Amino acid sequence: MEFEQLKLENQLCFPVYAASRLITREYQPHLDKLGITYPQYLVLMVLWETDGISVNEVTQKLLLNTNTVTPLLKRMESQGIITRQRSENDERKVIVKLTHEGKQLQTAAASIPEKLVSGLISEKMNLEDLKKLKDQLYILITYLSNVPD
């Protein structure tokens, strides 16, 4: 091949993309039992950590655009998992809060991370390797989040 840099095996983006898709696939059976999708799970994790935050704060934490998150939140609201209300202090802000059902999902979801990690550990990758990988990915995410457009 004339352009070695264009080989799939020489790309950083492909293994990150493929790993992301495959990890999400591993989550799906667990999330199906809860009746939620992976993006909904991400929103729930943000809210379980800090309930009653603005849509903008959710988008910032998940590194997503508002036009991606808004339809997701609408679906979650129709499922009875969250509520969305205009802020009393600033009507431009929409505050997202967990419903009782949304809070209950936290207990049901508590075992998912452990189940996923135990499925990834093998003779080729141990828990320490996974932690190092996560740390390295956060370094990459931080760098890419701060690169000017």
Residues 68 and 119 in one domain: no
- The Cα 113–Cα 67 span in angstroms is 28
Q: Do 131 and 96 fall within a single domain? A: no
59 and 95 co-located in one domain: yes
pLDDT of 91: 87
pLDDT digits over 88-137, tens only?
888 899 999 999 999 999 999 999 999 999 999 999 999 999 999 999 99
pLDDT digits (tens, 9 = 90+) for 34-47: 999 999 999 999 99
Q: What's the rounded Cα separation, in Å, for the pair 24 and 32?
A: 12
Helices within 11-99 (DSSP H only): 13-34, 38-49, 55-62, 66-78
Q: What percent of the chain has pLDDT over 90?
A: 91
Q: What are phi and psi of 95, to 5 degrees?
A: -95, 135
- Does residue 105 sit in the same domain as residue 148? no
